[in-house]
Each structure stands twice: as structure tokens, then as C-alpha cells.
Chains A and B, each alone.
Chain A
Amino acid sequence: MEITQELLSDIVSSALKRGATEAEVIALETTDFSVDVRLGEIETLEESASRGLGLRVIYEGRQASASTSDIQSKSLEKLVADAVEMARLTSVDEAAVLPSRADLAGSTEVDLQLYDETIAALPTERKIEMAKAGENAARSFDPRITNSEGARCSTTLGRMLLVTSSGFVGEYRGTHCGLMVAPIARDGEQMQVGGWGDRQRWINKLDSPEEIGHEAARRALRKLGAHKTHTQEVPIVFDAAASGELLDSFFDAVSGESVFRHASFLVGRLNEVIAAPMLTIIDDGRLQGAVGSRPFDSEGLPTRRTVVVEDGVLRSYLLNTYTARKLGLHSTANATRGLTGAPGVGATNFFIAPGKYAEDEMIASVKNGFYVTEMIGFGFNPVTGDYSRGAAGQWIENGRLTSPIEEVTIAGNFRDMLRGIEMIGNNLRFRGNLAAPSLKINKMMVSGE
């Protein structure tokens, strides 16, 4: 059976017929391909098409959902019956509503350049060549690159359809293409891996395999000889990749899901100064051809540009219909969902506006500090803002990078870290849907020996 808007509309009708007050059906169809290459040989080749349907119903204020990867008519009948039956047993929740017709006003018929025909038509051989070229560039970069975790080239063709009982009908298609390279450098007994990659909607925007391979090799090589350092409080310069991880943590604190649950240190701080005045953070679902762009969110609301932090002032949380109602605000069209469950909140293209400094200038401004290029672990508590993670990078002495550092942690509280931002880099580049330039924070605790 084909997945069509008519099929989705029929499921909505059938849910209403069974007693649902409101119904929303989402369908996702994807074709995934990936090739892993290691030491110049193909390691795995994966290729599949999959699809599924998800139904969310509201029955007199009670919400439930069901999904299936089997779209034969017998299974679809069961999907509707399951959802409606479960909705009779949940609690009345006044905030659980679909967006109204009025909310849905606004154009979702925009061409955001989400689909690259070249990716759709890319022959398997070409994808294998890209992975091989990326790995080869890394392996031939330096004799100390002695091993490899390999390289992966992947493509996704996706189609999303949404039909709701409040009258929304929409669909869009999109492509993604990614290339990741992970070479291993060795010096004596020490081995270090360096991972680097890029992901774009358009293949002509993707960094070349050579650029990715070389950067991956550089990132592995510069870790060789790494050691711990003494426990001390110092300024930190985060490279763009590490800054992106800070931004990812910050998202948790501005997501309406954390805010309405009082699980964010930013509760009640709208329109207050929360960060240094040079910090501006934006979520923009309408950037042309960008990875996180989409014409409408997972509830059918037209996407938009939301200024989250403007010159250090918290201007907006990121919200879906549910969290907006809980907070007495309007949705920012950040609803996101898979096939099952109520919509969550997700970023579209989420970024820190670039500043004026070259990263070199930022490093040069530090007398004794830490240039962080990798972080590991999950040590962020959005409720309190406490932050403590494993870190690796290079030490900065008198404005210059000196020796590589590993097996240390960096810790602080996000409230202080946001206010302590002293410099923002001019090096913003999206390698996915989230991007940040390099950041300098005045001080954090480095824990080591």
C-alpha cells in the first residue's frame, strides 16, 4: 500500500468515527544508505527503505498514541482501535490539544531547498569512493596515522506527511548526506583517535573528503603525548565543536519541556539578562537548504525564526503547543516527534550568532588556560545549571598552544559560564542542525592531578 495524504485522511476520519475528539496522523518514509570503509576496504554496506505511521488522538481531553511499521489495512484498524481505547483511560489534560485552525495560519508552502536530486541519484560507487577518499586523505596525512576506525558515507532520502483533524494537510521531502572519518594516530604505546565529519542537505555544500580526512588526522595527531594537568581555575577557549556541545546542553534549559516542569535554571527568567551582552542565540527553521529547516513543525505549524537570547537577554523559550499552553505562551513551532508519543520540543537550526574574533586572537588573549576541543560524558544538570564533563585539548601558555591535555574535567555552573563569556569567534559553520563559533569563558575549574 502507498502512503498518501488520502490514506492519512482516512485514518483521521476513522479515529473520529471511533469517538476521538481530535486526531493527528504522521507518516515517515526513509531510504537509508551507508557504506563503511576501513583500511581501504569496504567493511559494511547497508541499504534499506522503511516507513511507518503514527496516530495521536485526543478523546475529551485525554491523549494517547499508537504507531506501526505495518501499514496493511488490518494493522491500521488495530492502530486506530488501540489509540482510541488507550485515550479513554488517560487523564483529562487541558493543555493537550492540537493547534487550532487559527494557529495554523501562515504559509507552509515555501521552497526551503530541502531536497537534492543529486543525492537521490548518487551511485553506490560514488559513495564508496567518497568514504575511501576521506579515509585515505587521513591515512596519508602523516606517518603516525597507523590505524583507522574507518570512514562512513551515508545518505538519507526522507518524506514526512502530516494530516490533522483541525484541517492541516502537508508533506515535504528532504535529503541528507554525511561523511565521517576516524583515523588513529600512534606514538609509542599511546593511541589517539580523531573524528571529524560533515552533514548537509546538499552534496555540493559538503566539505570534500580530503578536507574532512585531513582535519580528522590533525585532531588525532595533536592528542599524541597528552597528559593530565594540575587542578586549577583558568580561562577556557572552546573550539567550535566543543562550543556546539555547550549549545546542545543550553538547548535543554530553554526547551519548554524542561521549563514547564521547573527542570531548568532558566525558569522565570524571560527578558532578564542571563549572559554576557555579546551573546545572541537563534533558532531558525527557515534557513535555505539547512539541515534543520522544515516548512512546518510536527504539529503543522509554520516554522519561524526565534531569537532565544538577544545581546545577553533571554527573549524566548522554544515551545510546542503543549508546553506553550502550560506556560501561557505561544508555540514557537518547535514541535518534533517520531511515530509514537506526544510531540516533544526540538531545535530546527539552532546557533550562536558569530562574533568578531578569529580563534587565534582568542587563544592569544589567554596567559594560562585551556583550549578544549573534545568533551565526553553527560555531566550537565539543567535543573541547577551545574556542569562537569571530561575534557581534552591543549594547554595555553602566554597566548600560545603548548602541550596536549587529557583525563581532566572542566566544571562550573551554566549561570556563571554564560555571564563569563568574554569573546565569541567569527567561525560559525553548520555541520548538522546546531552550530556555534569558538567561545572564550573567563574561568572554569579544571580538575586533574
Chain B
Amino acid sequence: MISPLTYFTENFNLTVADIEKLLAVALSRGGDYADLYFEYAVLSNLSLEEQLIKSANRAITQGVGVRVISGERTGYAYCDEINPEAIRTAALTAAHIANSTGATTPINVTAGQHKHDLYPVAHPASEEPLERKIEMLNRADQAARAYDRRIREVQASVIDEFKVILIATSEGLLIGDVQPLVRMNVSCIADDDGNLQAGRTGGGGRAGLDIFVGQRTPDQLAINAARQAIVQLDAIEAPAGAMEVVLGPGWPGILLHEAVGHGLESDFNRKGTSAFSGLIGQKVASELCTIVDDGTIEGRRGSLNIDDEGNPTSRTVLIENGILRGYLQDHLSAKLTKAQLTGNGRRESYQCLPMPRMTNTFMLSGQDAPQDIIASVKRGLYAVNFGGGQVDITNGKFVFSGSEAYLIEDGKITAPVKGATLIGHGPTSLTKVTAVGHDLALDQGVGLCGKNGQSVPVGVGLPTIKISEMTVGGTKG
């Protein structure tokens, strides 16, 4: 196992004393806090389409980000070269956010220990032979084509990342992490006499290639993508208007991510710009709903041993039996609002400032049997797969776009419908949750969340739930 501290000190000829000096440079114009974020990452991508392994790519990025906080102000600069001189230049730039000329105080850092070890990986995917990944891609292609002769195109890819980070702060923290991440995607196009439809799936986590077993074998992922494309061949117009909506388990948890998750990030709430600002202790969901953000689940895509500010991740109860309990914190917001850290300070890379972000966000299981939930609906929509979603933090309006959904008529699942966007209002939509299944499932590990131009991997999860009224954006009135 690689030690991040040893990795950076040995490969880049740095010492702990250098790091301490650089932190002092960052605070040389005053400033309350400074941190250094060292990153080395290898991103590999291998893809197949038209039954050819069309491309193999590998990107190596490395650099150091320097942050200086002075009151509510933040200065940030980074360098691509990892050496004391380049970091010193960045530190001097970031230091300019503060404008006193106080004497430089020496800084001492002490190597910290992890609270978690959530993704011990003996063989990171980035070190596996390409041949093994090629075999996975070919298997996916064959499985999709074997599923139905109407599958016309199959695209599959294996994308993996191997990241080593080291964080040093002026408060004395020195801690690192080695973060593997792997993902396989399959998308298919079905063609039935000119009626073309697409289906896509994926799976992954913080693991090696061994994660692709069970429901996540290349064959299973491919069959699921092919099945979705074939189902869509018979899809009828989606209904338009407000109706009962049942969401299936797993990936439909994107509802929580958009409806409440973003609105509970502490930066928006500290500034009073979120529709959830000031609602702690108030009812924002039905009492059936308990929603948590948990960065500590072993091997999950959204999990982290430490966040990108060096703090341990945790399980944070956001909504408990319908009552809003907490926000997701990063260093700056926790400090300014005197709140407990939750380990949600994340960033895309050394080029970016950390912000409060979600990890794995899901609703806990309830009591209902999923089949009873469906049987209780007279006329509604049963949605089981989704594409992306988006939210307007300030007015709380959120959308998520269905890619596989069915009509429910008289308690029975009937025809598949075309993709349609669902829209709701974060602080009130979940008050209309009238049933929660006992079948919580986390998604397969493909989520990517964007905020202020930065993307980070996340997870979501949901049991089967019923929402008594939600607007479905179909075309059939």
C-alpha cells in the first residue's frame, strides 16, 4: 500500500519541513488559515463501439493547490509542477487575499491517521493489463447483441482513476489518501425497422475490476442497457400533468440529490440563498422520510476516507422522520456558522476550491411492500431509471428526467412510456411521500454531480416510494 506522504516526499523531493515553510509563506500576509492540496492522478479510459476497441487513453495530472482564508475571503492558486519553488509562487499569489504584514509564525504539521479504510484495493484498475478490460468490453458487446437481434449499436467503456492526495493545513493536519475509482458504462441503440431507441447503464465504485461481479458483470450491465432500449421500442407518449408517482429503488434516489441534497449544502444556507435556509427543525418531508448522507460506506462511488480538506467523512442525518436536522459542511461554512464538520468539503482536482458536496445520499427503508405500493395507485407513473437532474437552489424547483417509466393503471404496471421530465419543489415535494418500501437499494455506482463547474463522483439510494402528487412532463394531456 502506498503512503501518500512518502509518495509525494520521495517522488518530488519534498520534506515535511518544506511543507511547513510553504504553509508559512501562504500565511505571510496574515490570513487565518491555509492549506495545501497535493494531487497525482492517472485517469484511464478504454472504449468499444462497432465491435472495435476504438480508443485507449491515459491522462496524468498532478499539481498542488494553495488556499488562504482570511475572514470570509478566500485566495486560491495552483501549480502543475510539484516542487518547492512552484508551490511557493502559488502560495504568494494566494496569500494576497490577506493584507496585513504580520510576522510569520512557524507552522508545525503532524502526520494524521485515518478513521476509515473504506476501499483497500490490492489491484487498482489502472494497473490491470489492458487485455483484461478488452475482454470485459467484448463480453458486454456480445451479451447486448445476444439479448435481442434488434440491438444495432453497442458502446461500452471502462474508465478508471487512481488518485493520491496529501493535505497539509496551517492547523497542523497532514493527512493523505489513495483513492481508486472504476466505472463501466454500456449504451445500446435498438433499431426496429427505423424506430431507433437508446438504453444505457453502468456500474462501479471505489474498487478494482473485481467489483464487476453479481449484478455488475459486464454481461448483466449490457443486458440491462439492451433491455431498456428494447422496452423503449414500444413506449407510448408519456402523460402530462400532476399525478401519483411511484419511484423504484436505487438510482431514482437522484430525486433526493436534487430535491433536498443540494439545498442542504451549507454554503447556500450560510448565505441565505437556499430554499431550505432557516428551516432546521421544521417539517420538510412526510414523517415516513429519513434521509442521510453517508460518506463511510465501504467501496461506494461517493465514499471517501477523508474529504478533500483532510477531515474524516461521516454519516449525516439530513432529514429525520420528516424534520430537517442538518446541513452538509465544509471547513469554511462550518467555521463561519460555528457548526460541526461533517466531512463534505470536496473538490474536483487541485485546480479547484473545495465546497460542501454530497457523498452517498439516500432514504432509509420504510415498512411497505413494493408491490402493495404499486397496487395502491389508480392512475400514475412508475419510474425506475433516470438520466440527469438539476435544481434551482433558491426557489427549490428541481427536475429529473426519466429514461425508463411505465403507466400504472388500476394498480397494475402497464405500458412503457417515453422519457419525460418530472418537476417538483424541494421543501414540499417530499411532504407528499405517502408510502416508503422496505427495499432500500443504492445505485450501481455511476453518479456524477456538477456544482459551480466542478464534477465529483456521488452515490444515491432509495427504497420504492409513492409521491401522492408530482408533475410529469409528458406530451399526452
Contacts and interface: CB of A to CB of B under 8 A. Distances in A.
Given A383-B196, A408-B471, A44 B353 contact: yes
Contact of B390 (A86, A233, A376): A376
Contacts of B399: 376-377, 379, 389-390, 409
B3 interface: no
Nearest to B152: A262
A192 interface: yes
B388 interface: yes
A416 to B, nearest CB: 10
Interface stretch (B27-35, B171-179, B237-245): B237-245
A449 B73 contact: no
Given A47-B77, A66-B58, A193-B394, A388 B389 contact: no
Given A45-B97, A379-B401, A448-B471, A384 B272 contact: no
Interface string A90-113: 111100100000000000000000
B56 A409 contact: no
Contact of B419 (A339, A388, A448): A388
Contacts of B476: 445
Contacts of A176: none
Tell me what chain B mostly uses at the interface: helix, strand, loop, or mixed: strand
A153 to B, nearest CB: 15
A140 to B, nearest CB: 19
A41 interface: yes
Interface stretch (A48-56, A275-283, A311-319, A419-427): A48-56
Contact of A48 (B49, B59, B78, B418): B78
A373 interface: no
Interface in A396-445: 406-413, 445
B113 interface: no
A89 B56 contact: yes
Nearest to B473: A409
A191 B394 contact: yes
8 contacts: A44-B97, A147-B273, A148-B273, A263-B153, A383-B198, A409-B423, A445-B477, A448-B471
A321 to B, nearest CB: 14
Interface of A: 38, 41-52, 54, 63-70, 75, 79, 82-83, 86-87, 89-93, 96, 147-149, 184, 190-193, 223, 226, 228, 231-233, 261-263, 265, 267, 339-342, 376-379, 381, 383-384, 386, 388-390, 392, 406-413, 445-449
Contacts of B155: 261
Across the A-B interface, the 4 shortest Cβ-Cβ residue pairs: A409-B473, A377-B399, A91-B52, A447-B240
A38 B418 CA distance: 43
Contacts of B79: 48-49
A341 B45 contact: yes
Contact of A379 (B130, B242, B473): B473
Nearest to B131: A89
B275 interface: yes
Contacts of A90: 52-56
Given A48-B90, A448-B242, A406 B397 contact: yes
A147 B271 contact: yes
Q: Which of B79, B153, B392, B398 has the most CB of A within 10 A?
A: B392
A407 B130 CA distance: 48
Interface residues of B, number: 78
B232 to A, nearest CB: 8
A91 B53 contact: yes
A373 to B, nearest CB: 13
Contacts of A42: 73, 97
B57 interface: yes
Interface stretch (B60-68, B116-124, B337-345): B60-68
A54 to B, nearest CB: 8
Given A70-B62, A89-B131, A340-B43, A406 B73 contact: no
A449 B477 CA distance: 11
A92 B56 CA distance: 12
Contact of B472 (A54, A83, A447): A447
A123 B344 CA distance: 35
B129 to A, nearest CB: 9
Contacts of B391: 376
B397 A392 contact: yes
B46 to A, nearest CB: 8
Given A262-B196, A388-B419, A448-B242, A190 B81 contact: no
B56 A390 contact: no
Contacts of B421: 377, 379, 388-390, 409, 411
Contact of A342 (B55, B96, B238, B425): B55
B224 to A, nearest CB: 18
A61 to B, nearest CB: 10
A251 to B, nearest CB: 17
B388 A378 contact: yes
Contacts of B84: none
A390 B53 contact: no
Contacts of B96: 45
Contacts of B401: 377-379, 388-389
Contacts of A51: 80
Nearest to B130: A89
A41 B73 contact: yes
B57 A65 contact: yes
Interface string B394-426: 110111110000000000000000111101110
A92 B54 CA distance: 8
Nearest to A260: B50
B74 A193 contact: no
Contact of A68 (B45, B54, B60): B60
B366 interface: no
B26 interface: no
B475 A411 contact: yes
Contacts of B473: 379, 388-390, 408-411, 445, 447
A64 B80 CA distance: 24
Contacts of A184: 273, 394
Given A50-B80, A262-B153, A44 B74 contact: yes
Contacts of B395: 190-193, 223, 226, 406
Nearest to A416: B475
Contacts of A388: 238, 401, 419-421, 473-475
A100 to B, nearest CB: 20
Interface string B117-140: 000000000000011001000000
B55 A63 contact: yes
A64 B62 CA distance: 21
Contacts of B153: 261-263
B81 to A, nearest CB: 7
A390 B62 contact: no
Nearest to B353: A44
Contact of B242 (A411, A412, A445, A449): A449
Given A341-B55, A379-B421, A447-B241, A45 B75 contact: yes
Nearest to B394: A193
A326 B75 CA distance: 48
> By CB atoms of chain A within 10 A, which of B90, B387, B388, B421 has the most?
B421
A52 B152 CA distance: 38
Interface in B267-312: 271-273, 275
Residue in B60, B61, B73, B78 whose Cβ sees the most chain A Cβ within 10 Å: B60
Contacts of B242: 231, 448-449
Given A38-B271, A44-B73, A232-B477, 7 more contacts: A47-B93, A48-B77, A89-B53, A90-B52, A90-B53, A377-B388, A388-B238
B189 interface: yes
B351 interface: yes
Given A82-B58, A412-B475, A193 B240 contact: no
A294 B281 CA distance: 55
A231 B198 CA distance: 28
A419 B387 CA distance: 27
B389 A377 contact: yes
A82 B400 CA distance: 40
Most chain A CB within 10 A, of B242, B395, B473, is at B473
